[in-house]
Amino acid sequence: MKYERKTFPGGTHIIDYKGFTNSLETVAAEAPARAYIPMSMHIGAPSRPLVEIGEEVKMGQKVAESQGFVSVPAHASVSGKVVAIHRMPIPNGRMVDTVVIENDFRDEWLTPPRALPKSDVEAMDGAAIQAKVLAAGVVGMGGATFPSHVKYVTPQDGKKVEIIILNGIECEPFLTADHRLMLEQPEKIIAGLKYLLRMMNCQRGVIAIEENKMDAFELMIKLTENEPQIETVVCMEKYPQGSEKQLINAITGREVPPGGLPIEVGVLVNNVATAAAIADAVEWERPLIDRIVTLNGNAIKKPMNFRVRIGTLYEDLIAQSGGVIGETVKIISGGPMMGFAVYSTAIPVMKGTSGILVFNEESHVLKRETEGPCVRCARCVDACPMRLEPTTLMKAAKKSDWARAKEYDITSCMECGSCSYVCPSLIPLVQYIRLAKQYVMSKDGNGAVNPFLM
Amino acid sequence: MENITKPLILSSSPHFHSRYTTEQAMKEVALACLPAAAAGIWFFGLQALFVMILCIAGALAAEYLCRRIMSKPVTLKDGSAIITGLLLALCLPPAVPLWIAFLGGAFAIIIGKQVFGGLGQNIFNPAHIGRALLVASFPVQMTTWSAARGMAVDATTMATPMALMKTGAMSQLPSLGQVIIGQVGGCIGETSVIAILLGGLFLIFRRHVDWRIPTAYLGTVLVLTTVFGTVKGYGMMYPVYQLSSGGLMLGAFFMATDWVTSPVTKKGRLVFGLGLGILTCLIRFFGGLAEGVCYSILLMNILTPMIDRYTKGRIYGGSGKEGKPA
Ligand code: SF4
Ligand code: SF4
- In chain A, which among 343-402 make CB contacts under 8 A with chain B? 343-345, 364-369, 372-379, 381-382, 385-389, 391-392
Looking at residue A147, its amino acid is P
B22-311 is classed CATH 1.10.10: no
- The CA distance from A191 to A187, in Å, is 6
Q: How far is CA A416 from CA A148, A211, B16, B56, in A?
A: 22, 20, 11, 40
Average pLDDT, chain B: 89
Mean per-residue pLDDT, B148-152: 70
- Dihedral, B193, B143, B104, B287 alpha carbons, nearest 10: -80
b/e per residue B276-285 (b: at least 16 CB within 10 A): bbbbbbebbe
- With beta carbons under 8 A apart, name residues in chain B contacting A417: 13-14, 16
Percentage of the residues of chain B whose pLDDT score is greater than 70 = 94
Q: pLDDT band for position B245 (50/70/90)?
A: confident
Burial of B149 (0-12, 13-18, 19+ CB in 10 A): exposed
Q: How far apart are alpha carbons A310 and A290 in whole angstroms?
A: 5
Residues of A in contact with B16 (CB under 8 A): 14, 173, 336-337, 365, 417, 421
Give the largest CA-CA distance in chain A: 66
Strands (E), A120-170: 163-168
Confidence of residue A443 (pLDDT cuts 50, 70, 90): low
Q: What is the distance in A from the centroid of ligand 2 to the CA of B201?
A: 22
Closest ligand 2 atom to residue B22 Cα is 3
Beta strands in A1-116 (DSSP E): 5-6, 27-28, 34-38, 48-49, 56-57, 62-65, 74-75, 80-89, 95-103
Mutate to test the pocket of ligand 1, among A415, A420, A422, A438 (most ligand atoms within 8 A of CB): A415
The mean pLDDT value of chain A amounts to 89
Question: CB contact, 8 Å: A339 with chain B?
Answer: yes
Q: Which of A67-71, A303-307, B33-37 has the lowest mean pLDDT?
A: A67-71
| C-alpha A250 – ligand 1 centre gap (Å) | 18
Quote the pTM value: 0.90
Of the residues A320, A328, A430, the best mutation for testing chain B's interface (the one with the most B CB atoms within 10 Å of its CB) is A328
- Percent of chain B's residues with pLDDT above 90: 59
From A293, A288, A289, select the one nearest A278 (Cα to Cα). Answer: A288
Mean pLDDT of A256-278: 91
Looking at the complex, does the CB of residue A332 fall below 8 Å from at least one CB of chain B?
yes
Predicted local distance difference test score (pLDDT) of residue B39? 95
SS3 A202: coil
Q: Which atom of ligand 1 is found nearest the CA of A414?
A: 7
The pLDDT, as a whole number, for residue A429 is 95
Torsion of Cα atoms, B223 then B227 then B233 then B238, to 10°: -10
Choose, out of B2, B5, B8, B301, the residue to mutate when testing the contact with A (most A CBs < 10 Å).
B8
Q: Is the pLDDT of residue B322 over 50?
A: no
Which residue, among A269, A118, A302, has the nearest Cα to A196 in the 3D structure? A269
Domain coordinates of chain B in residue numbers? 22-311
Is the pLDDT reported for residue A347 higher than 60?
Answer: yes
CA distances in angstroms from A383 to A408, A413, B182, listed in the order given: 16, 12, 38
Mean predicted confidence (pLDDT) in B93-99: 93
Backbone torsions φ then ψ of A390, nearest 5 degrees: -55, -40
Distance from CA of B283 to the nearest CA of A (A): 28
From A419, A429, A453, give the residue whose CB has the most ligand 1 atoms within 8 Å, as the site to mutate: A419
Pocket test for ligand 1, best of A416, A423, A427, A441 (most atoms within 8 A of CB): A416
| pLDDT above 90 for B270 | yes
Mean pLDDT throughout A89-102?
A: 90
CB within 6 Å of ligand 1 — which residues?
A: A 383-386, 388, 390, 413-419, 429-430, 433
Question: Which residues from chain B sit within 8 angstroms of residue A341, using beta carbons?
Answer: 8-13, 15
A-facing residues of B in 257-276 (CB < 8 A) are 259-262, 264-266
When computed from its CA atoms, the radius of gyration of chain B, rounded to whole angstroms, is 22
Tens digits of residue pLDDT in B182-233: 888 889 999 899 999 999 999 999 989 999 999 999 999 999 999 999 998 8
Task: Return all residues near B140 (Cβ < 8 A) that are at least 6 apart.
Answer: none
**A196-240 per-position pLDDT tens digit:** 999 888 999 999 999 999 999 999 999 999 899 999 999 999 999
CATH code of the region A9-22+114-283: 3.40.50.11540
> Rounded to an integer, what is the distance from CA B22 to the centroid of its chain?
18
Distance CA A131, CA A273 (A): 19
Q: What is the pLDDT of residues A124-179, one digit of tens each?
A: 888 899 889 888 988 888 766 677 777 776 556 667 889 999 999 999 999 999 99
CA B313 – CA B311 distance, rounded (Å): 6
Residues spanned by CATH 3.40.50.11540 within chain A?
9-22+114-283
- The closest alpha carbon to A173, from A403, A306, A332, belongs to A332
At residue A148, the pLDDT reads 73
